[in-house]
Structure 1
Amino acid sequence: MLQAITHQGDQIIIAAKSHAAIQKLKASNQKYYCPVCHSEVRIRAGTEVIPHFAHHANAKCFSIEGGEGEYHEQGKLMIYQWLEKQQLDVKLEPYLSLIKQRPDMLVEIGNKQIAIEFQCAMIPKEVINNRSKGYQSSGIQPIWIIGANQLKRITATTLRISPFLLSMMHQFSSSTSNKLFFFCPDTKQFVIAQHVFIINKRSAIAKFRVRQLMKTTIVDLFREKLLADQELLSLWMREKEKFRTKPIHVSRLGHLWQQWLYRNQTSIIYLPSIIHLPVESQYFMKTPLWIWQSKLVVEYLVKISVGSYLERSRINDLFQSEDHYSKKDFPLIYQVKDPINQYLQLLCKLGIIKQYNLSLYKKQKNIIFHANLEQAINADRILLKQLMNAK
């Protein structure tokens, strides 16, 4: 831990002190205590570790859980000092006895409290959810900043995604995009990935912003910078081509889906271009885009004639509760939007269906299956360009 208290109750942040000051503290034989369990701790300061306080080997304390490495301690100290320089009321590693949690930092801005967690190692999403809900139960806004050691960028606009990262995705209001916050203590940079669109279980498209720590304020982290429709759909064009030409990742789910396509006398090559379209709230679905969208199109939309009505209740019957997550799985998301509704809105933009009210649509066009790969790819491009121009 970066801080301890003296017998008089004074707080000492050891990492903020000079080498000479630390040596003076060590020579003074002053005793220091853990602010959580109040047991005695000792100063650890060497050439290869950031100065900190450590419990004795047999200590049992809440604060020891999930041991913290040098990368984490360094990043936490930098973020704390960054907040202090903005003249914000910030506490380092405070213990919140009411909920028995210890955030890395607790910041007060006006009448609002923010708990900041700097997380550099993978932990179960259940732990993240439970901690987030604990803060929220006390009226505290949790913000998780992920160590940049967990950021795996594939290209300038794509990153590796995982349940661990998705559990720390934020949305602060119904009108703002989803965001992932990263920080690297080595480069002293924030990386914000926002407007995240899931491609598959391993990757996602996002708009990235890189900000130097000392040229950034806490307010800057929340500024909106979205993917323009043209940018998103241009990037998705590449994903559509991969979808058509490269084998779907071998998995039990993928194998079952391909068997389902065979039973429906079709394949990936022939599928209508309206299948596998980008939906921002795809993170809420357990099944990949192409599976649930093809199910809606092939099992329902194709089978009804032009001019027939589509009932939302019939669409809902196509899916089971295990096809999507619970809203409780995303405590950091202000409003989980309905991915099926977002997909239906795309079909409305394309003129495939027309919406009459919240639960009723009408089929406007026939659904076209393709004859070969070349026709499919050309049709995909035309459709995405149509979406770019749609209002």
Structure 2
Amino acid sequence: MLLAITKSGDTFIPSTLKTHELQLIKKQNLSYYCPACKERVVLRAGLKQIAHFAHRSKSDCDNLSKGEGKIHEQGKKDLYNWLKAQNVEVSLEHYIQSIKQRADLFVKWNNRLFVIEYQCAKIPIKDILKRTYAYQSISIMPIWILGAKQMKRLSKYSIHLTKTLELYLHSTPYCQSPLMYFYCPIRQQFAKFHLFAQTDTSKAIGLFEFNPLRELTFFDTPHTQYNKEMLDEWYKEQFKFRFHLPKHCYGKEKAFRNWLYHMQLHPSTISSFVGLPIRYQLKMNCSIWDWQSRLCYVFINNHKRFSYHQVMHYMRPYKKSQMLLPLVNTPIDPVKEYLDLLIQLKILTFEDNMYFVIRRLKTYCNPQEALKGDKKMKDLLKNKVKYK
């Protein structure tokens, strides 16, 4: 840990001192204590590591750091100095007694409380949820910033998004799309990933924004101007869905493929209005092709008009529990996003709190016609559709 307290209760951060100053401190053989358990800790300061404190080997303190590593320590230090330089009230390695949890950074800003967790190592989903909900239970907003090694880019506009990484997506009423944060202390570079759409279970399309840390301020206004080239990335995924059938299907994907067979549908000829990019797809518990095809072919095609309540009732089984999305604090609904797109694409209209079906969605006669339809859809989305 980077911080300890003295006998008089003052905090001491050795990494803020120069090398010769640290050597003088070590010679004084002063006593330092953990701010959580009050046990005596050992000052470690060498040429190859950031000056820090360590518990004795048999300690069972809740504040005990477990091999966080040099990158993690440097990242915490950089973020702490960055906030201090902006005159933001911040505490390093702040221990919160009520929930027995240590925050990397504890921030007071604009009459609100925040914690920043700089997470370099992979941790279980249950730990992410536990720590996030613990902060929220005492009205503290958690912000997770990941180490750069956890960013697995697949292309200029896509990222490998596991179920674990999905939990680090942030969203508030002020964000038009979910955000994920990364920081590299080696380059002192901060990165934001603005989610545009999720296609399969492990891939997300979006915009990367890279900035030197010194050029940013705490709570910068999120960037939301999407690049139309991201729709080219989506178009590739649509092609993959149509013609690259998985060798093995399990769980919900297998159930979806069986449903398609039962409905006499095939991915190669399904409507181009199925699989449209939705920014809050993470709120659904199945793929975009799964729930959108069911909504189109079972619900919309069998109604001349319907209410918002009716469609939400039908889609309820395909939505995730809010408990699995602790950092997504926005009322934006993916089904509503999709219906808004269909209105812009002249499939639906909305009047007097009712949706009216202008034209039904049909399958194509052959794969060649489907490819032409997808190309036309991509052009429509680029030129006419406004993402709100």
Q: Please give the residue correspondences for 1:282-321 in structure 2 after superposition, counting only pairs within 5 Å.
A: 282-304=281-303, 308-321=304-317
Partner of 2:334: 339
Residues 160 and 202, structure 2, Cα contact 8 Å, conserved in 1: yes
- Aligned-partner Cα distance in 2 for 1:324–1:108: 35
- Aligned-partner Cα distance in 1 for 2:165–2:223: 20
Cα distance, 1:303 vs. partner?
Answer: 4.1
Cα distance, 1:31 vs. partner?
Answer: 1.2
Question: Alpha carbons of 1:111 and 1:195: their partners in 2 closer, same or farther (altered >3 Å)?
Answer: same
Question: Alpha carbons of 1:250 and 1:318: their partners in 2 closer, same or farther (altered >3 Å)?
Answer: farther
The aligned amino acid for 1:342 is E
Question: Alpha carbons of 1:144 and 1:390: their partners in 2 closer, same or farther (altered >3 Å)?
Answer: closer
- Aligned-partner Cα distance in 2 for 1:291–1:2: 48
- Aligned-partner Cα distance in 1 for 2:147–2:60: 27
Cα distance, 1:316 vs. partner?
Answer: 4.0
- Aligned-partner Cα distance in 2 for 1:66–1:172: 32
From 344, 348, 351, the equivalent of 1:349 is 344
Partner of 1:49: 49
Question: Alpha carbons of 1:316 and 1:89: their partners in 2 closer, same or farther (altered >3 Å)?
Answer: closer
From 376, 379, 384, the equivalent of 1:385 is 379
Cα distance, 1:381 vs. partner?
Answer: 1.4
Matched-pair identity in %: 32
Q: CA RMSD in A?
A: 2.1
The size of the alignment, in residue pairs, is 384
Partner of 2:359: 365
Q: Please give the residue correspondences for 1:5-154 in structure 2 after superposition, counting only pairs within 5 Å.
A: 5-64=5-64, 66-154=66-154
**Deviation per CA, 1:51-109, whole angstroms, max 9, x where unpaired?**
21000011110111554122111111111111122222211111122332221111222
Residues 281 and 336, structure 1, Cα contact 8 Å, conserved in 2: no
- Aligned-partner Cα distance in 2 for 1:102–1:134: 11
SS in structure 1 at match of 2:237: helix
- Aligned-partner Cα distance in 2 for 1:273–1:89: 51
**1:326 paired to 2:321:** yes
Range moving further from structure 2, 376-385 or 243-252: 243-252
- Unpaired runs of 5+ in structure 2? none
TM-score (norm: length of structure 1): 0.91
Partner of 1:226: 225
The aligned amino acid for 1:347 is L
Residues 161 and 204, structure 2, Cα contact 8 Å, conserved in 1: yes
SS in structure 2 at match of 1:146: strand
Question: Alpha carbons of 1:92 and 1:317: their partners in 2 closer, same or farther (altered >3 Å)?
Answer: closer
**Deviation per CA, 1:217-250, whole angstroms, max 9, x where unpaired?**
2243x4323315x444343222222222222473
Residues 177 and 226, structure 1, Cα contact 8 Å, conserved in 2: no
Cα distance, 1:312 vs. partner?
Answer: 4.3
**Deviation per CA, 1:119-145, whole angstroms, max 9, x where unpaired?**
111223333233223323333222111
- Aligned-partner Cα distance in 2 for 1:279–1:122: 27
Q: Please give the residue correspondences for 1:258-297 in structure 2 after superposition, counting only pairs within 5 Å.
A: 258-297=257-296
- Aligned-partner Cα distance in 1 for 2:139–2:256: 44
- Unpaired runs of 5+ in structure 1? none
- Aligned-partner Cα distance in 2 for 1:174–1:17: 39
- Aligned-partner Cα distance in 2 for 1:316–1:114: 34
From 229, 242, 245, the equivalent of 1:244 is 242
SS in structure 1 at match of 2:209: strand
Residues 83 and 218, structure 2, Cα contact 8 Å, conserved in 1: yes
Residues 327 and 336, structure 1, Cα contact 8 Å, conserved in 2: no
The aligned amino acid for 1:309 is R
Residues 195 and 207, structure 1, Cα contact 8 Å, conserved in 2: yes
- Aligned-partner Cα distance in 2 for 1:176–1:343: 15
SS in structure 2 at match of 1:200: coil
**Deviation per CA, 1:153-177, whole angstroms, max 9, x where unpaired?**
1111111112222212112325533
**Deviation per CA, 1:338-388, whole angstroms, max 9, x where unpaired?**
211211121111111222344x32221132211222110111111232233
TM-score (norm: length of structure 2): 0.92
Range moving further from structure 2, 193-202 or 270-279: 193-202
Cα distance, 1:320 vs. partner?
Answer: 4.9
Question: Alpha carbons of 1:112 and 1:32: their partners in 2 closer, same or farther (altered >3 Å)?
Answer: same
Range moving further from structure 2, 337-346 or 168-177: 168-177
Cα distance, 1:17 vs. partner?
Answer: 1.8
Residues 95 and 102, structure 2, Cα contact 8 Å, conserved in 1: yes
The aligned amino acid for 1:324 is K
Cα distance, 1:317 vs. partner?
Answer: 4.9
- Aligned-partner Cα distance in 1 for 2:247–2:18: 53
- Aligned-partner Cα distance in 2 for 1:101–1:373: 56
SS in structure 2 at match of 1:68: coil
**1:166 paired to 2:166:** yes
SS in structure 2 at match of 1:91: strand
SS in structure 1 at match of 2:280: helix
- Aligned-partner Cα distance in 2 for 1:98–1:255: 45
Partner of 1:376: 370
